[in-house]
Every structure is written in structure tokens, then in C-alpha cells.
Amino acid sequence: MYSTAMSLSAASAAAVASTASSRPNAIRPAAGLRFCGLRREALGLRSLRSSTQVVAARRSVAAAATAGNGAAGSGGFDYDLVIIGAGVGGHGAALHAVEKVSSAGYDRQAVADHANNLASKIRSNLTNSMKALGVDILTGIGTILGKQKVRYGKVGFPDNEITARNIIIATGSVPFVPKGIEIDGKTVFTSDHALKLESVPDWIAIVGSGYIGLEFSDVYTALGSEVTFVEALDQLMPGFDPEIGKLAQRILINPRKIDYYTGVFASKITPAKDGKPVLIELIDAKTKEHTETLEVDAALIATGRAPFTKGLGLENINVVTQRGFVPVDERMQVMDADGNVVPNLYCIGDANGKLMLAHAASAQGISVVEQIGGRDNILNHLSIPAACFTHPEISMVGLTEPQAREKADKEGFEISVVKTSFKANTKALAENEGDGLAKMIYRSDTGEILGVHILGLHAADLIHEASNAIALGTRVQDIKFTVHAHPTLSEVLDELFKAAKVNADVTHSVNEPVVA
């Protein structure tokens, strides 16, 4: 019997798929696929949702054992695949494994309740979908003991050990907090705390102007707050294509109650207490000299995320993390300290640091399951889109213009750039959302699409035509003949593709995916 294991959510549980015979009312996974996923508890800070769930989990394990769901039925292993971690990546991997084998006035509390209820609903849906596929949930912290062996357990209860033919690490990440910053969760907090929206400060400093910082500036200014960005680099939104970043600053920052400091570090942040405000000490990023002290009502730390890989037991298999990230090859196979592949061990998502996006984690998980099933699969990370959910939205896929020019100089080819405006789109004008730009960088000699960047209405939805083109190796000379409905926002990309000029002697696409 083939068995697989995955992790389901970020609270602290292990998901184990047992044979349907141990659950008469459960949907039978195809080909008797069995799962186990370990959800890792962050230093015991999160509590179990209910004691009933724990009992149910224990009963399911016992039922699995008595139903002959152990080593003898899985080629000597308890499971064929264990996934440690319970976010979108682990969930996507498990689903695929089953498939393969088978400032106007507002109500702050209402907004906060909606956010919390949505998060709870999504978490519940992830859990329920796994249960419906025959996945048992085992609560505990997962630790790798050795080759194909995992221990899980929780404080106050005996540990359990299971074996697995394959293991996927999918433990995700936590907010990164630089040294010198004191988090109290009330006046100095991370994005995790901000989602609770327990209060709306009159003046909030946001440390970091990337995706997270920009999105929260959009939220807080809409709720009436004044925002101050603190950015270590010399420009805001350093990860964006520079042209898109400048337009975003004109549309999303300049007209709003937002000011900013660039080229400075927040060397020390002290929470508000005893009637005193939050204090932020700024130092020059180059000279490290003190420049100013800000006094604000609150501070959001949006300096990125750090891999959640401590306590995994990687030392037991001679694996050394790099800045906390688990080293992997292009197939997501974990590499040991000697540069060798660790057999049957994979790492996906934020824990490997290749591309810290939820949907990237899911795609990596699916790719790994394909490999486990005997079908080689290498994910092209340049085809994975990213989006910033502001108003209007920003999205991107592939290379920025500076990255593309650097690649062109190194490899000896020329690039071309075309742009279209949302002001020329009928649907955007009808929605009174004419601000926006779409931009494509491509090779004029071959028609290869190197990158697409969009700022405008529903940019996060529009980007997928471009990302799919890159993934499938579709060239400009082919995609420019596709038809788009009128009047729709998709015509922004239609005009973009049609504006591209490819050398006359270039034939149609060879349909080979573009790789880095």
C-alpha cells in the first residue's frame, strides 16, 4: 500500500492519512494513499483549539494501527510521505498527492471580526478538506530523528515516532524582527498582530516598504491613520520594478497622509508605556550615526519574514541551515552539509527561501509529489507571479527591467520594453480606475517574455496570462494573436502583447519554457 504524509496548519498538529477501512464514513483516498502531516507549534505559544480535537486525533491513530495501517502495509514504513508544516504549501502538496493517486465612517470591530473570521474559515476549510480525503490530524511538534523517521508530540503527553518513505518539510516562516526592536503586540507589533486590528492609531510608523508594509499603509490610511515609512534602502519599494515603484509612489503614497525616511535603520524601538509614546531611534544606514528619534502612537514591523526551522532536528541528518533556510536543489531535495542530497527528504515554501510566497510553496509541494510519483518535475520560479494587494493592485512575474538588462549584457542579447496605459482601456475608464500601467520586457530577437509588471485595477488577476505564457514558453509572436473579450481589463495585456515587435526572421514559438 502507498502512503503519504502532510502537515496541515500552523497551530501544532500532525496530519496522518489512514486507510479508508479505519474510517467507514471517510472518503477513500485513491489507491489507499495514506497521509501524515505535522503541524509545528511555535514555542508552545498557540494552544490547541479544543480537547475534543486531541481525543479525535488519538482515536484516529489508534484506529489506523488496529486497521493494519502500519509498517507492514507500507513497505516497512508507517507512511510513504510525511509533511512537517501546515500552511498552503503542505496543504497543496497533500491535495495533489491524493489526486495523483486518485476614510469614511467605519466599524473597526466589524473590520477586525471579518478579518479574524476569514482567517478562521480558511483554516477550517484547509483542515476539513484534508479530513474529507482521509487525513488524520495528529497534534504535536514534528522533529526529524533520522533518515525517514519523525517524532511528534506536545507538552505533557508522551512523544510518538513514525517512519515515512518520504518527508516534506513545510514549516513556513514567522515575521522577522531586527535586533533592538521590542515587540509588545499592542503598540509595537508585526503583521500577525496587525491582522487583529485591535486599534487604529492616529499615527503609525511602518518599518519596511515592501509588500507587507505597502499593503498595511493602504489599510491604515483608509482607516484614517497617518503613516510614516522607515526604509533602510535608498528608495521606497526596493523589490519592485523601478518604473512601477515610481508610479506606485505617485498613486499610493504621495496623495495620502504618508511621509517617509529612506536610507535609515530603526536601531531601537520602545513600546508606548506609562503615558509615553512609541520611540523609534533612527540611524543612517551607511554611517550608522544617529539621525533622529520619532515619537508615534504605534509601529508596525514589516521587515520581511524568517524561516521557521528551529527544532526540526536537522542536525540529526547532517543538514546545516543557511540564515535559517533549509538548503535544497532545483527539485526541492534537501542538501546536507557536504553538498549531498539527503534521500527522501524535501523542503518547500518559506523554509527553503527560494520564493517566499504561499502559492510558490503550494507549487513546490505539487512538484515534489510529482517526483515522488516517478515523474520528474522542475518548477520554473521565474514563472511564478507575485501581487501586492493595494488599491490599485500591483503584480509582477519574471525579471525587472534592470535584472533583464543585466542578464542581456551577460549573455549577449538585446531586450525591448513595451508599455500600455489603463487610461486607454474602456473597462478601466468605466470603473473610474484609469490610473495604471502594464509593462513587458522581452527579447526582440526570439520573442521570449522576460518579465511583465502591472499596476492598476485587478492587476493581481491580470498577471496570470503573462505568468502562464512564461511557464509554457509561449513567445510574443504567438500570444499577440490571441483574442480577448471587449470590453474587459484583459485588453490591457492584449494591447501590450500586440505592441511588441519581434524580428521578422523569427519563426513561431518552440514552446519551451523559459528558465533562469
Any residues with CB less than 8 A from the CB of 110 and at least 6 apart, and which?
none
Q: What are phi and psi of 512, to 5 degrees?
A: -105, 125
Annotation-wise, does 357 bind a ligand? Answer: yes
Annotation-wise, does 437 bind a ligand? Answer: no
Strands (E), 372-510: 386-388, 393-398, 415-421, 437-443, 449-456
Annotation-wise, does 214 bind a ligand? Answer: yes
Domain ranges of the chain: 113-171+306-373, 188-305, 382-499
Annotation-wise, does 412 bind a ligand? Answer: no
Any residues with CB less than 8 A from the CB of 503 and at least 6 apart, and which?
444, 445
Q: Which residues are catalytic?
A: 486
201 cis-preceded (ω within 30 degrees of 0): no
Annotation-wise, does 213 bind a ligand? Answer: yes
Residue 225, all three cell numbers:
491613520
Specify the residue for cell string 510614516: 228
CATH of domain 188-305: 3.50.50.60
Any residues with CB less than 8 A from the CB of 234 and at least 6 apart, and which?
262, 263
- Residue 8 confidence (pLDDT): 34
- Give, for 6, the enclosing helix (H) or strand (E): strand 5-6
Annotation-wise, does 209 bind a ligand? Answer: yes
What is the CB neighbour count within 10 angstroms for residue 313?
16
Q: Which fold has domain 382-499?
A: Enolase-like; domain 1 (3.30.390)
Residues 132, 26: contact at Cβ < 8 Å? yes
Show pLDDT as tens, one digit a residue, over the chain (516 residues): 444 444 433 333 333 333 333 333 333 344 445 555 554 433 333 332 333 232 222 223 323 333 333 444 457 888 888 888 878 888 888 888 777 766 456 788 888 888 888 888 888 888 888 888 887 777 799 999 999 999 999 888 889 999 999 999 999 999 999 999 999 999 999 999 998 888 899 999 999 999 999 999 999 999 999 999 999 999 999 999 999 999 999 999 999 999 999 999 999 999 999 999 999 999 999 999 999 999 999 999 999 999 999 999 999 999 999 999 999 999 999 999 999 999 999 999 999 999 999 999 999 999 999 999 999 999 999 999 999 999 999 999 999 999 999 999 999 999 999 999 999 999 999 999 999 999 999 999 999 999 999 999 999 999 999 999 999 999 999 999 999 999 999 999 999 999 999 986 655 544 455 555
Asked whether this chain's domains 113-171+306-373 and 188-305 adopt the same fold, the reply is yes
> How far is Cα 511 from Cα 468, in angstroms, rounded to an integer?
12
Annotation-wise, does 171 bind a ligand? Answer: yes
Annotation-wise, does 304 bind a ligand? Answer: yes
> How far is Cα 358 from Cα 209, in angstroms, rounded to an integer?
20
Annotation-wise, does 215 bind a ligand? Answer: yes
Annotation-wise, does 173 bind a ligand? Answer: yes
What is the CB neighbour count within 10 angstroms for residue 44?
10
- DSSP class of residue 11 equals S
> How far is Cα 516 from Cα 498, in angstroms, rounded to an integer?
25
Amino acid at 380: N
> How far is Cα 219 from Cα 222, in angstroms, rounded to an integer?
5
CATH of domain 113-171+306-373: 3.50.50.60
- Residue 39 confidence (pLDDT): 47
pTM of the model as a whole: 0.80
Annotation-wise, does 212 bind a ligand? Answer: yes
Q: What is the 3-state secondary structure (H, E, C) of 122-182?
A: HHHHHHHHHHHCCEEEECCEEEEEECCEEEEECCCCCCEEEEEEEEEECCCEEECCCCCEC
Annotation-wise, does 243 bind a ligand? Answer: no
Q: What are phi and psi of 427, to 5 degrees?
A: -65, -40
- DSSP class of residue 328 equals B
**C-alpha distances in Å from residue 122, one per residue of 87, 185, 233:** 11, 23, 35
Annotation-wise, does 350 bind a ligand? Answer: yes
> How far is Cα 36 from Cα 39, in angstroms, rounded to an integer?
10
Specify the residue for cell string 498582530: 193
